Structure 1
């Protein structure tokens, strides 16, 4: 570029910028409100504090699958091998824990089942038995706890599959439940 062209461009630019005031700050206004650090810290603190008021377990009661007192229960998550489910149904997978929900309200059964499954997961237990009962209700409707357990376990992230027990372990009034395990360090399985 020659000196004349350069001077010409500078004078043209200076002419165009006449009357324009220089911006005093170098930050753009994005239109977003500024972050309130105090509010953000309060939210973070509240998120780490445990509250016993409301325990959200992710188990929905919006659509409960009604099952009969003598209905056999069977469900397997996608990807679970049929051979594993056949062994479970035949009682060939030993259960390492058992829970009895007889006589509980639906809400109490839900809390108890959730706590039981949390503990079984923590202990890396592979199979448990859950006795839900099969008593027909006074109003002639289907068994309440059995229907809810059937629905809840299909939603539980640790449940791989379940099937009604053999008669000696409770028959249609109980299920064998196969659980996911995260491999603990140093385990050979």
Structure 2
């Protein structure tokens, strides 16, 4: 019966020795000062990202997939909001935000509203969807749109659409026009 040393020598035949004078202990730990700077930069970029083009994500009002949205700026007539809610105000433009990231949806919505205002459009439809999220939280784009529209100074009000126009997955948005000053004052 061969001894352990001879068995080891037999197994090591043909193996080449590596000549390295230091051990690889894994990932090198970054300097503590560098870590603090990285954290500070990350926090600053998050703070900057919270307000883009005047539309903030700092406080998002979570809404459910089937929740009906309805909001009006102070002074907007109740009758105008009732007509909007009933789908009796003709919308002249439509935007679909399905499948977009929050950042893409924000910039697309801002550009869409700017164009509608430039063209003196009175009412538009924004389809935000009402996707149920895998983590069980409220619909993300719907919640953000609900928050962003309240922040936009030219939005007089909005309400969920009638079923044939998207139901609780879309909103009619009433915009302030400028062509004839005073016409849309509330």
Choose the corresponding residue for 2:114, options 113, 118, 122: 118
- Return the offset for 1:105: 0.1
2: distance between equivalents of 1:59 and 1:95?
A: 23
For these two proteins, the number of residue pairs brought into alignment is 133
Pick aligned residue for 2:61 from 54, 59, 65: 65
Q: Output aligned runs, 1:157-176, within 5 Å.
A: 157-176=153-172
Unaligned runs of 5+ in 1: 1-53
SS at match of 1:168: helix
1:135 aligned to which of 131, 135, 142: 131
Counterparts of 1:90 and 1:77, CA distance in 2: 18
1:181 and 1:131 mapped to 2: Cα distance?
Answer: 22
- Find the counterpart in structure 1 of residue 100 from structure 2: 104
State the shift of 1:57 in Å. 1.0
Q: Does 1:144 find its partner at 2:140?
A: yes
**Structure 2-normalised TM-score?**
0.69
Instruction: State the secondary structure of the residue aligned to 2:62.
Output: coil
Structure 2 residue corresponding to 1:84, chosen from 80, 96, 109: 80
Q: Separation in 2 of the partners of 1:56 and 1:133?
A: 22
Cα distance in 2 for residues equivalent to 1:184 and 1:93 = 19
C-alpha RMSD of matched pairs (Å): 1.7
Structure with bigger gyration radius: 1
**TM superposition shift of 1:56:** 4.0
Q: Hey, what's the Cα distance between the residues in 1 that align with 2:138 and 2:52?
A: 26
Cα distance, 1:183 vs structure 2: 2.1
2:106 and 2:52 map into 1 onto residues whose CA distance is: 11
Which residue of 2 is the match for residue 10 of structure 1?
Answer: none
Tell me the TM-score normalised to structure 1 length. 0.68
